[in-house]
Structure 1
Amino acid sequence: MTQQNTEERPVIAAAIVVHEGRVLMVRRRVSEGQLSWQFPAGEVEPGESREDAAVRETQEETGLTVKAVRLLGERVHPATGRLMSYTACEVIGGHAHIADTDELAELEWVTHAEIPQYVPYGLFEPVQEHLEAALTR
């Protein structure tokens, strides 16, 4: 009989950062399957809320200081099988740049019309709805 790993993998918290009519996207050095461009994200640490993790990961990866506005939703990502949490965030300070050069290769502020070029497989519906409202005003 083989022993099963009963330890769950940590939730991944993603930050949906909208600023001046664009959304922040990053390209990881190591892609997860077809996921090349994505939102700043990382594992939720023990005792940390999903919203706090999204804020922390954005700071660590991009140097940008953001605050969580609201949790948009959660799902098991169809491409990675990881439990994902998505939090809408707003910029409160700093300048976005590649702060974590080990993890990130590129960073872009993307318009609503450009999103399909970066994420051709589509977005999680609550994220899509949030971006349509935030980017098409």
Structure 2
Amino acid sequence: MTDETTVERPAIAAAVIVLNGRVLMVRRKEKEGQLSWQFPAGEVETGETGEAAAVRETREEVGLSVSAEELLGERIHPATKRKMIYVACRVVEGTPYVADEDELAEVDWCDRAKLSSYVPYPFFGPVEDYFKERLV
């Protein structure tokens, strides 16, 4: 008899990027559950921090250079059951565009009203708190 081990899937790091009262959102070519619009995000690689993954994924997905400013929080996502790491990031340079054409369809800077139409359910509490102070 052999012992079976469960391989845990890597955490997902999400970059929460607010500039001039708007948050950067990306639309995936394929929906993940009910969600097609989300933050730039991807798996944390072996030996990488959540903050480093959020910075790397932002560069890979939308060609934007950002720096990690604050860890907003972590949770197990209720729909995907994946560990999520939310990182507030500051734009260093660049203009976002669809850099990862295999995964993304478009990018958009969203104010509060547009964000509500893209994501019609509440955000994770610490992310929502962050938005209350920064979004128009």
TM-score, normalised relative to structure 2: 0.95
Q: Which moved more, 1:15-24 or 1:110-119?
A: 110-119
Contact 1:112-1:132 within 8 A present in 2 as well: no
Pair 1:90-2:62 in alignment: no
- Report the alpha carbon displacement of residue 113 of structure 1 after superposing the two structures with TM: 2.4
Aligned amino acid, residue 75 of structure 2: R
Q: Which residue number corresponds to residue 25 of structure 1? A: 25
* Distance in 2 separating the partners of 1:128 and 1:73: 11
* Distance in 1 separating the partners of 2:20 and 2:60: 21
1:35-73: CA deviation from partner (whole Å, max 9, x where unpaired): 111000000000100000000000000000000000000
Aligned amino acid, residue 78 of structure 1: P
Structure 2: unaligned runs, 5 residues or longer: none
* Distance in 2 separating the partners of 1:121 and 1:113: 13
Tell me the matched-pair count: 136
Q: Which moved more, 1:109-118 or 1:39-48?
A: 109-118
Pair 1:56-2:64 in alignment: no
- Report the alpha carbon displacement of residue 2 of structure 1 after superposing the two structures with TM: 9.8
Q: Which residue number corresponds to residue 35 of structure 1? A: 35
CA RMSD between the two structures: 1.5
Q: Percent identity of the aligned residues? A: 60
Structure 1: unaligned runs, 5 residues or longer: none
- Report the alpha carbon displacement of residue 4 of structure 1 after superposing the two structures with TM: 4.8
Question: Following superposition, which runs of at least 4 residues in structure 1 exceed 3 angstroms of deviation?
Answer: 1-5
* Distance in 2 separating the partners of 1:113 and 1:36: 17
Q: Which residue number corresponds to residue 99 of structure 1? A: 99
Does the C-alpha gap of structure 1 residues 114 and 3 become closer, same or farther in structure 2, counting only changes over 3 Å?
farther
1:94-113: CA deviation from partner (whole Å, max 9, x where unpaired): 11000000010111100022
1:13-36: CA deviation from partner (whole Å, max 9, x where unpaired): 000001111000001111111011
* Distance in 1 separating the partners of 2:68 and 2:4: 36
TM-score, normalised relative to structure 1: 0.94
